[in-house]
Structure formats: C-alpha cells, structure tokens
Amino acid sequence: MIHPRLKSANRLLAGLLGPLLGCTAFAQPLSPLNFPDRVRYDGQMLVQVELRSVRDLMLVNQISDDCWSHSAGPAIAGGMGTLDYRMDAAGLRTLREAGMTCRVLDPNLQRTVDEEAIRLQGAGDGRFGPRGWYDDFKSPQQVSDFANQLIAMRPDLASRKNFGLSLQNRDLYFLRLSGEPAPPGTSKPIVLLNSVQHAREWITVMTTMYIAEQLISGYGVDSRATQLLDDYEVLIVPIVNADGYAYTWTNERFWRKNRRQNAGGTFGVDLNRNWSFAWGSDNGSSGNGNSETFRGTAPFSEPESAAMRTLTLDNPGIVLHLDVHSHGQLLLYPWGYTNQPAPGIGALSKLAVGMRQAILDSGGVPYLPGQCYQTLYPVSGGSLDWYYGDRGILSWTPELRGPGFAPPPSTILPTAKEIYAAVLWLAENFCEADFDQSGFMDTDDFDAFVYAFEEGLPKTDFNHSGFVDTDDFDAFVAAFIEGC
C-alpha cells in the first residue's frame, strides 16, 4: 500500500532535488592537500601478510605499528589469516626472508595520495559528474555545508544541533531526522549512526551523509524511508573526530587518532579505545602515546568521546547504534574486549546476518558478520562494547569497503547504497519485544520483562516516555502479542 503522503510530495521533491543533483550546486573549493609541511609516504607501501603463527604476528608488528586491516582475512591452511600493513621495502624484505608470504597491494602510497590530491584539487570548478555530491570525498566544510543544504530541503523533517566541542574547539554536531510525531506522552525509539571516529576513514562520512540524504529526500516518496522516519527518530553524527579529520585534509592523510598532545611529545588518542567499558586493558588497546591504539589517560579523557557519551545519555530512547568504520567488509557486534559471547548474542548475530543479506539483495558485496574479538581483533574501551555493555543498546560496527583508506571514488556510492539498505532492513526487523535478545520471541521475553518491570529497571521504559509506568507494560504486551 502506498503511503498516503507519497503522491502529494512528488512535485515538491522534484523542485527540491533539482538544486541538489544539478551540475553546479554545492561548489567544491580547492582541497588544501598541498601544504608544504604535509607528511609524505615516500617509500611506503601497503602489504598483505599471511600469518601462520603468533610469532609471525609479533614479527610484523615489530616492523610496522600501522595495521590497515579490520579483518584477519580468510584463514589460510594451518594458519591464522591475513592482515594488511603499511611498511617500507626493507620491512617487506625482512618478512620474506623469514619465510612469510606477502602480497603488495599498493606499491606506492605517496603516489596514491598525490593522485587523490590532484583529483580533489581539480574538482574545484564546482561541477559534479554522474554521481553528484558523491563523485569524490569531501572536506569538513563541504560536509557541514551539505548538512545545511539537506536541512533546508526539508526543515520539517531535519534539524542540526551542536553537542560539544573538539579538543581544538571545532563544533561537534548531529542531524536529527523524524517524520510523524510520537503519540502524546511517548517518544519514538531512536537509531544512532556515527562515523569518523578514526580520522583517515573518509568513506564513512560519505556513507552516513548518503543515508541522511536518502531518508530526507525519500520521505513521502519512498515508502520504506517514510516508514522508518515515522517509526523512529534518526540521529546522525557525521564526524566524531573533527580535529583528526581536518588534519587528514591538511597535514597527514593517513592520520587515525585525535590531536591530543600527549606526554613525551607524542600526539593523539584513539577515540575508539577511550570509552569506559572494559577500558585499560593492554589486550585491545595501548598505554603508549605513540601507539595507534593509545587509549588516553582515563576513560572519556577526550572531549569527542565524552560528548558522544553525553549525547547518548541525553537521548535515552536510543535502541540501535551503528559506529561506521572502514575497511574490511565486516558487520561486527560485541564483545570486542573478550572472546566470550555477549549475553543476547542471538539477536546481535541474527540481525547482523540479516543486514548482510540486505546488502547482497541490494546488489552490494559480501560482508562478514561476527563477534568483534574473534572476527576483527581485540578492542578494549571501544564504543561498540560501551553501547551494549553499559547502556544495553544493540550495537554494530560496519567495516566498509576498501581497498585501503584512499579507495577510488567510484566505490563511494556503491558502499553508501549497500549500508543504507542494511539500515533500512535493521529498522524494519528490529523487535523490541525480544526483551532477552535471544533472537526470537517466546515466553522467556515476557517473563524477563515482568521481572525487570517489577524491579523498576529503566530498560522497561518501553514507550520511551522517560519514566516507567503501567503504560510501558501495556505497550510491551501489545508488541508481544503482535509479534513485532
């Protein structure tokens, strides 16, 4: 059945999309990628290494502390798998002399960076090709300008709000998208998406902005986008690591962390090791300020992660969370800090498998679902575990396509489309009445809700009104009977 607002919005949308998709809108300024003090990668290459043992892993980590993989890759016969590392020719030679099998994925990273810079600078005439705004990667200012354009397109659906400042006093902002209001005295469940915790993962912000655009432009025109915004509020944080992202555009393309000046002259905290749940372990983070996974001096020591925590606490209706990263083609779920299965892993796994299928059905590439610790590597103090372990929010980390952190711009739109398909499917298939998060509904869910309700636990605020009362019990019973 066509949504009653679909037909009436067609002419409005045509008028609004013209400026958005036209050839001369959103002029792209010259990207400041030719600064004289910009870090160079001369002699550096990207190498895929086959790991046969822990000894192999220890050797490659002595040669390079910059692992680009977010997956151990397919298991090799009798061994551990593959990982991608940035290294020089001497490092490659050392590994091969040790009998390790290595494959050069990019023989000249500086050439890749130069070609990207030249391409982006050449886009400064403000004209777009067939992929529109997604023809190429966008600077912090261009992302901000596009966010404002989307809001101007449908101010009845979308708004923008600052929720904090970065270490270097850049605004941290989110977009709030919502269609029909919730019934009086209730609030909608909320879906939270964020990207660019790691500065060099440029494709992630292109993806979350595409999701924002599709929901805004599709409301009243596409039944699935319309239903999602009528059923949920959607919060999108395009750039968590504002300072680091800006730094990748001006100084160091493959910078990962924020821009904290640490003791000993080192820089940067890995924001995705700075969350309080399971913080402090050397298995999945580092106490060394020079490490790419430096966790900081304390949980939430960084203003960016602390602001994300505040945003989350200020929106208690969040039920689904996606922390978007690259690269690896993975759909990760808790735990990251241990190889033990998380309670409720049934729902996490089932929904991850469903998102994988939705991606394939949309024409996308295969993504591997799995527990973070086992599918990726140990991550201690990560947002994935904090959202699930501290807040009880179902959380996943999609690791998007590569190759590397400077993929060809032709990958932007296919990547964004497949993750949008996953988000639509997730919102449509999430069952809040699966209270014990087993992956299916049964009487155990009813019993678990009744027990939690009698204890007055906050998670039984089923209608998201901000407090627990009999209306929550009635709402749960109705959802349970309907089977979601």
| Tokens found for residue 170 | 């850049």
| Tokens found for residue 101 | 């099998």
Instruction: Give ranges for CATH 3.40.630.10 in the chain.
Output: 7-26+127-429
Answer positive or negative: Cα dihedral of 62, 68, 70, 74: negative
Listed residue (192, 201, 202, 197) closest to 426, CA to CA: 192
| Tokens found for residue 446 | 């009813």
Helix (H, G, I), strand (E, B) or coil at 46: strand
* pLDDT tens for the chain, residues 1 to 484: 444 444 334 433 433 443 343 333 333 333 455 567 789 999 999 999 998 888 888 899 899 988 887 555 554 544 567 889 999 999 999 999 999 999 999 999 999 999 999 999 876 555 566 678 999 999 999 999 999 999 999 999 999 999 999 999 999 999 999 999 998 888 899 999 999 999 999 999 999 999 999 999 999 999 999 999 999 999 999 999 999 999 999 999 999 999 999 998 999 999 999 999 999 998 889 999 999 999 999 999 999 999 999 999 999 999 999 999 998 899 999 999 999 999 989 899 999 999 999 999 999 999 999 999 888 778 999 999 999 999 999 999 999 998 899 999 999 999 999 999 999 999 999 988 888 888 778 898 889 889 999 999 988 888 888 889 999 888 888 888 887 7
Classify domain 7-26+127-429 by CATH architecture. 3-Layer(aba) Sandwich (3.40)
Do 246 and 31 contact (CB within 8 A), yes or no? no
Angle at 145 between CA 140 and CA 150, to 5 degrees: 125
| CATH of range 44-107; options 3.40.50, 3.30.420, 2.30.30, 3.30.70 | 3.30.70
pTM confidence score: 0.88
pLDDT at 127: 57
pLDDT at 16: 41
pLDDT at 3: 45
pLDDT at 252: 95
Instruction: Give ranges for CATH 3.30.70 in the chain.
Output: 44-107
CA distance 222 to 211: 13
Do 10 and 221 contact (CB within 8 A), yes or no? yes
